[in-house]
Amino acid sequence: MKNQKSFNSLLILLLLALSIGCSKFRALERSEDWRLKYEAGLNYFKEKDYYHTAILFEQILPIVRGLPEGEKVEFYLAYCQYYQKTYLLASNQFKVFYETYGRSQSAEEAYFMYAYSLYVASPDAQLDQKSSIEAMGAMQTFLNQFPGSQFSDKATEVVANCQEKLERKEYDNAIQYLKMRYYQASIVAFNNFKKTFPDSKYLEELTYLKVVAEFKFAQQSIPSKQLDRYISTVEFYRELVDGYPTSSFLKEAERMYTTCLNQINFIKSKIKNS
């Protein structure tokens, strides 16, 4: 019973504190003194109350734009959006800040955060990677424009991560063609992938899957097309052996290679005797 009374008392005190806090903020909102709102916004930001900071700073932004305080208001507003996880809005706000205050001490950080916000907003590799491409381009521009920046290591990491997501997206697309039995399309996709990502960790597997795709394509082809396609499978097999002589895929690839040689000899013999 005593504990219940103590809990009720604490709850009442908490509600009173919240009520007083809300009343105080409403008074700030209604105030016509932008300096009062500016100082209160800075305090809210310091306390990591980005919601109330944003409300006050958005109110006074038209007034302080062009004043010394305007730079800090716009910069903090961008961070408020970032911390509230509205990343695309934050990215745009950081970009606007950089374009408006290009000589500011915060300009470098703003450009980095513009690119970084785009990166954070980008989806998983399975989804459209337009924002990843944009983030990678923006971050590469940052690295070129601010060599030796304190953000360089993080920026380099972002570029690498975006590259990996784009690789994974293209890899998944190529594999999907094979799963759908679009064998010609999958081979084209595998070749395009190699051109785009010549150092990818997926190249060994995709080189093997080219053998698989061409082998299956040959099997399902009409008789007049099979010889050329079995020969292509053999060529793809040799590409795998030359490029990856210790590959774990060689055993299965060799089985297809042997079948192809047998089929090539059989078709040639059939043609000779016809």
CATH number for the domain spanning 216: value is: 1.20.58
Residue 146 lies in a domain: no
- Give the whole-angstrom CA distance, residue 45 versus residue 174: 47
| Lowest-confidence segment of 47-51, 131-135, 195-199, 253-257 by average pLDDT | 131-135
Q: Which are the contacts of 94, defined by CB distance < 8 A and separation ≥ 6?
A: 78, 82, 110, 111, 113, 114, 117
pTM: 0.76
Domain boundary (57, 84, 111) is at 84
For a pLDDT cut of 90, what percent of the chain falls above it? 77
- Total of domains in the chain: 2
- Give the whole-angstrom CA distance, residue 148 versus residue 151: 8
pLDDT in tens, 178-215: 999 999 999 999 999 999 999 999 999 999 999 999 99
DSSP code, position 85 = T
Domain boundary (65, 84, 103) is at 84
* Residue 124, pLDDT above cutoff 80: no
CB 54 within 8 A of CB 84: yes
- Identify the domain containing residue 248 by its residue range: 200-274
Domain boundary (34, 66, 84) is at 84
Residue 72 lies in a domain: yes
pLDDT recorded at residue 174: 94
What's the mean pLDDT when you consider all of the chain?
Answer: 89
Residue 176 lies in a domain: no
pLDDT in tens, 61-80: 999 988 889 999 999 999 99
Residue 71 lies in a domain: yes
Residue 217 lies in a domain: yes
Provide φ and ψ at 128, rounded to 5°: -60, 135
* Residue 217, pLDDT above cutoff 90: yes
pLDDT in tens, 81-99: 999 999 999 999 999 999 9
